[in-house]
């Protein structure tokens, strides 16, 4: 265990940024999102949740895959270069670290997504424990411990000190590069911080959310439930929930006409959008209810069915905070739980 005074963090950032690109939560116009740090960047490690998750670092909202250029009778096709530069993601919360593991299940499975793979290979993740979890958090429902985040280095923000613990080889290497800025530290303050975080987590309103009835086996019962028809109604069909989500992984591939050729790019897609998975024959989800259902079925049923029971929600609560209609995964889980309870107590006749 190491430590560094928070007043010395700029020196730490400078050191890291000298050799690698450094991503940090940066404030812009009152909102905090991960971005590349440079001198003068307004770092906000105290912000619990960035608006967007840090998944852009591996899976950007929009990225060019290759460019076709026409020059007379010649046509050239230039694929985009893969990530070659090492970079550091600093201040990632436990839920978002798990989010990367969920994206790995998708992008590192055969056939491997080389763009994603290259970025993952060149990244070092410095995670940060959640000093003060909030009412929208429910990571512990997915067995995530926000007091002891995974990553290459774990860190804890306690008073005026940042505690630092390498967890992997990559983390050891980063620690080595900044070692003269760090001091040796006792485990005790971190242990007591962990306890206080866990005590707060116990008190969070969604901490005891039950996932009973969900999972890979719930396919037909959940899909055919009449509850979707009621639940989706306030949905505005915007993509906020999908775009702030650390695990939403659907993308679309489009061509951008540059006038002299074509840039083929991929961008995040949203199951809330009317042309989601549109194919030549048309669209296989023609109503907003179907599109709405898709999002929750994917997270709570399809994904676990295909990935050894792992849910593709990490309980970060960004959708809970940002949905303009207060309609989100917690609402869905609770509505299903209520209905199932009333069914079991005879409240609803078959």
Partner 1 sequence: MPECVKTMSQAEREIHLMTAQQQTTQTQVVNRAKELLADGTVARVLGWKAGELPYAPQPAYFEKEEDLEEFVYNGFCGANLSKYMIEASKLDGKTLVCLKPCDTYSFRQLMKEHRVDREKAYIIGVGCKGKLDIEKIKAQGIKGIQSIQGAERTDDADTLTIQTLYGERTCAYADVMLERCHVCKGKEHMIFDELIGESRDTKDRDRFAQVKEIEAMTPGERFAFFQKELSRCIRCNACRNVCPACSCRKCVFDSSQFDSAQKANADPFEEKMFHIIRAFHVAGRCTDCGECSRVCPQGIPLHLFNRKFIKDINEFYGEYQAGADLEPRGPLTSYVFEDVEPGIVAERG
CB of 86 to partner 1, least distance (A): 26
Determine the Cα–Cα distance for residues 334 and 312; give it in Å rounded to an integer: 17
List beta partners, residue 63: 266
- Nearest CA-CA partner of 234 in 341, 317, 135, 335: 335
- Would you give the binding string for partner 1 spanning residues 277-296, x where CB under 8 A is met? -x------------------
**Nearest residue (CB) to partner 1, 185 versus 320:** 320
Where does this chain touch partner 1 (CB under 8 A) — which range of 65-73, 153-161, 186-194, 330-338? 330-338
Q: Which of 53, 83, 127, 136 binds partner 1 (CB under 8 A)?
A: 136
Residue with tokens 């410095």: 126
Q: Which is nearer to partner 1, 307 or 335 (CB)?
A: 335
Structure tokens at 64: 């060019």
Angle at 101 between CA 94 and CA 64, to 5 degrees: 110
The stretch near partner 1 (CB under 8 A) out of 3-11, 81-89, 251-259, 306-314 is: 251-259
Residue with smaller CB distance to partner 1, 233 or 260: 233
Distance (Å, whole) CA 300 – CA 277: 20
Q: In what order do the strands lie in the sheet with 21-28?
A: 31-36, 21-28, 87-92, 123-128, 153-158, 161-166, 2-5, 183-184
Q: Does residue number 316 form part of the binding site for partner 1 (CB under 8 A)?
A: no
Among 234, 286, 287, 343, binds partner 1 (CB under 8 A): 234
**Which of residues 25, 178, 330, 336 is near partner 1 by CB under 8 A?**
330
Interface residue with partner 1 among 133, 151, 261, 315 (CB under 8 A) is: 133
CB contact at 8 A, 301 and 214: yes
Does residue 257 belong to the site contacting partner 1 (CB under 8 A)? yes
Quote the tokens at residue 163.
């505690």
Q: Which of 10, 19, 28, 187 binds partner 1 (CB under 8 A)?
A: 28
- Indicate left, alpha or beta for 70 from its phi (over 0: left) and psi (-120 to 50: alpha): beta
Number of residues binding to partner 1, judged by CB under 8 A: 55
Place of tokens 């971005």: 35
Stretch that binds partner 1, among 7-15, 86-94, 98-106, 232-240 (CB under 8 A): 232-240
For position 159 contacting partner 1 by CB under 8 A, the verdict is no
Interface residue with partner 1 among 72, 84, 176, 203 (CB under 8 A) is 203
DSSP of 268-298, one letter per residue?
E--TTSTTTT-BTTB-S--SHHHHHHHHHHI
Instruction: Report DSSP state, residue 217.
Output: G
**Which residues neighbour 298 within 8 Å (Cβ) at sequence distance 6 or greater?**
271, 312
61 binds partner 1 (CB under 8 A): yes
Angle between helices 9-19 and 169-177 (to 10 degrees): 110
Q: Which residues bind partner 1 (CB under 8 A)?
A: 28-31, 33, 48, 51-52, 61-62, 132-136, 200, 203-205, 233-234, 236-240, 242-244, 252, 254, 256-257, 263, 265, 267-270, 273-275, 278, 320, 322, 324-328, 330-331, 334, 338, 347
């Amino acid at each position: 265990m190491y430590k560094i005074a928070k007043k010395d963090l700029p020196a730490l950032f400078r050191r890291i940024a000298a050799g690698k690109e450094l991503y940090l939560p940066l404030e812009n116009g009152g909102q905090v999102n991960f971005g590349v740090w440079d001198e003068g960047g307004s770092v906000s490690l105290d912000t619990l949740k960035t608006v967007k998750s840090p998944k852009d670092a591996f899976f950007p909202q929009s990225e060019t895959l290759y460019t076709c250029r026409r020059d007379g009778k010649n046509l050239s096709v230039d694929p985009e270069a893969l990530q070659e530069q090492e970079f550091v993601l600093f201040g990632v919360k436990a839920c978002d670290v798990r989010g990367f593991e969920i994206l790995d299940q998708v992008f590192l499975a055969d056939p491997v997504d080389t763009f994603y793979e290259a970025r993952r290979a060149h990244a070092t993740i410095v995670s940060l424990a959640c000093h003060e979890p909030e009412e929208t958090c429910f990571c512990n429902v997915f067995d995530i411990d926000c007091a002891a985040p995974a990553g290459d280095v774990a860190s804890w923000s306690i008073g005026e000190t940042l505690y630092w613990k390498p967890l992997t080889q990559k983390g050891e290497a980063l620690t080595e590069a900044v070692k003269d800025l760090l001091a040796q530290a006792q485990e005790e303050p971190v242990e007591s911080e962990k306890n206080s975080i866990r005590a707060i987590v116990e008190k969070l309103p969604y901490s005891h959310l039950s996932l009973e009835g969900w999972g890979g086996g719930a396919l037909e019962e959940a899909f055919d439930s009449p509850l979707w028809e009621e639940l989706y109604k306030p949905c505005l069909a915007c993509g906020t929930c999908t775009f702030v989500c650390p695990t939403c992984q659907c993308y679309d591939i489009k061509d951008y006409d540059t006038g002299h050729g074509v840039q083929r790019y991929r961008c995040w897609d949203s199951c809330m959008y009317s042309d989601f998975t549109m194919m030549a024959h048309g669209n296989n989800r023609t109503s907003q209810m179907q599109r709405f259902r898709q999002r929750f079925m994917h997270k709570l049923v399809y994904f676990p069915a295909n990935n050894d029971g792992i849910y593709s929600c990490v309980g970060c609560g960004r959708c809970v905070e940002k949905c303009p209609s207060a309609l989100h995964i917690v609402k869905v889980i609770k509505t299903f739980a209520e209905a199932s309870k009333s069914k079991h107590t005879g409240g609803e006749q078959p």
